[in-house]
Amino acid sequence: MTVSPQMVTPLFNKENPALGWWWQNRSVAPYRESMALKEALLSLCRPLYLIDFENELAVSHEGTMTWGKDAPPGRYALPLLGFAPVLLPENLGDPKFRTFYGLRYAYVIGAMANGISSVSLVETAGRAGLLAFFGAGGLTLSKIDTAIQQLQNSQKRHHFPFGVNLIHSPTDSTLEMETVRLYLQRQVRLVSASAFMEVTLPVTYYRVKGIRQNADGKTVCPNRVIAKVSREEVARQFLNPPPQKHIEELLNNRLITAGEAELAQQVPMADDLTAEADSGGHTDNRPALALLPTMMALRDKLAKHYNYQRIPCVGLGGGIATPTSTAAAFAMGAAFVLTGSVNQACIEADTSVTTRHMLAGTRQADVIMAPSADMFELGVNVQVLKRGTLFPLRARKLYDLYTRYDCYEDIPSDDRKQIERDLFKKSFEEEWEATQLFFTERDPRQIERARHNPKHRMALVFRSYLGQSSTWANTGEPNRQLDYQIWCGPAMGAFNEWTQGSFLEDVENRSITTVAYNFLFGAAVINRFQHLRNQGVPLPAELGTFHPLRVAQIQKRLKEKIYDMVQ
pLDDT in tens, 107-145: 999 999 999 999 999 999 999 999 999 999 999 999 999
Q: Do 349 and 112 touch, CB atoms closer than 8 A?
A: yes
Q: 317 with 441, same domain? A: no
Q: Which residue among 432, 461, 483 closes a domain?
A: 483
Residue 25: is its pLDDT beyond 80? no
Q: 398 with 466, same domain? A: yes
Q: Do 107 and 516 touch, CB atoms closer than 8 A?
A: yes
Say if 335 falls within a structural domain: yes
Q: 56 with 110, same domain? A: no
Q: 161 with 82, same domain? A: no
Residue 16: is its pLDDT beyond 80? no
Give the whole-angstrom CA distance, residue 292 versus residue 287: 9
Q: 135 with 13, same domain? A: no
Q: Which residue among 462, 483, 504 closes a domain?
A: 483
> Where do runs of H (alpha helix) occur along 312-426?
323-331, 341-344, 353-360, 391-404, 413-418
Say if 113 falls within a structural domain: yes
Q: 203 with 334, same domain? A: yes
Say if 262 falls within a structural domain: yes
Say if 491 falls within a structural domain: no
Residue 17: is its pLDDT beyond 90? no
Residue pLDDT, tens place only, 41-53: 999 999 999 998 8
Q: Do 298 and 339 touch, CB atoms closer than 8 A?
A: no
Beta-strand pair 107-109/64-67: unpaired
Give the whole-angstrom CA distance, residue 178 versus residue 54: 72
Residue pLDDT, tens place only, 81-99: 999 999 999 999 999 999 9
Average pLDDT score over residue span 432-458: 90
| Count of C-beta atoms within a 10 Å radius of residue 409 | 11
Q: What's the Rg (C-alpha) of the chain? A: 27
Into how many domains does the chain fold? 3
- DSSP tag of 8: -
What end-to-end distance do the CA atoms of the chain give, in Å?
15
Q: E strands along 241-340, which residues? A: 272-276, 281-282, 313-317, 337-339
Q: 123 with 257, same domain? A: yes
> Residue 408: which domain range?
360-483
Nearest to 316 by CA among 356, 363, 279: 279
Residue pLDDT, tens place only, 332-385: 999 999 999 999 999 999 999 999 999 999 999 999 999 999 889 999 999 999
Give the whole-angstrom CA distance, residue 13 versus residue 25: 27
Q: 250 with 394, same domain? A: no
Residue 270: is its pLDDT beyond 90? yes
Average pLDDT, the chain: 92
Least trusted range by pLDDT, from 55-59, 128-132, 224-228, 416-420: 55-59
CATH number, domain of 222, equals: 3.20.20.70
Say if 347 falls within a structural domain: no
Give the whole-angstrom CA distance, residue 50 versus residue 301: 41
What is residue 466's predicted lDDT score, i.e. its pLDDT? 95
| φ, ψ for residue 311, nearest 5 deg | -80, 130
Give the whole-angstrom CA distance, residue 208 versus residue 265: 10
What is residue 562's predicted lDDT score, i.e. its pLDDT? 55
Q: How confident is the model at residue 28 (pLDDT cuts 50, 70, 90)?
A: low
The helix/strand/coil state of 203 is helix
Q: Do 303 and 239 touch, CB atoms closer than 8 A?
A: yes
Average pLDDT score over residue span 139-160: 96
Average pLDDT score over residue span 309-328: 97
Average pLDDT score over residue span 209-215: 94
Say if 295 falls within a structural domain: yes
What is residue 5's predicted lDDT score, i.e. its pLDDT? 37
Q: Residue count of the chain, please give it.
A: 567
What is residue 3's predicted lDDT score, i.e. its pLDDT? 35
Say if 344 falls within a structural domain: no
Residue 7: is its pLDDT beyond 90? no
Q: 372 with 271, same domain? A: no
Q: Which residue among 460, 483, 506 closes a domain?
A: 483
- Phi/psi class of residue 561: alpha, beta or left (left: φ > 0; alpha: ψ in -120 to 50)? beta
Average pLDDT score over residue span 244-251: 97
Average pLDDT score over residue span 262-287: 94
Residue 304: is its pLDDT beyond 90? yes
Least trusted range by pLDDT, from 135-139, 204-208, 512-516: 135-139
Give the whole-angstrom CA distance, residue 482 versus residue 81: 58
| φ, ψ for residue 16, nearest 5 deg | -140, 70
Residue 151: is its pLDDT beyond 70? yes
Q: 127 with 82, same domain? A: no
Nearest to 206 by CA among 186, 228, 183, 233: 183
Q: 47 with 77, same domain? A: yes
Instruction: Give DSSP secondary structure letters for 58-118.
Output: EEESS-EEEESSSPPTT---EEEEEEE----GGGSS-HHHHHHHT-SSSEEE---TTTTS-
More confident residue, 105 or 438: 105
Give the whole-angstrom CA distance, residue 226 versus residue 100: 12
HSE-up of residue 344 (Cα within 13 Å, Cβ side): 36
Say if 508 falls within a structural domain: no
Q: 402 with 532, same domain? A: no
Average pLDDT score over residue span 140-161: 96
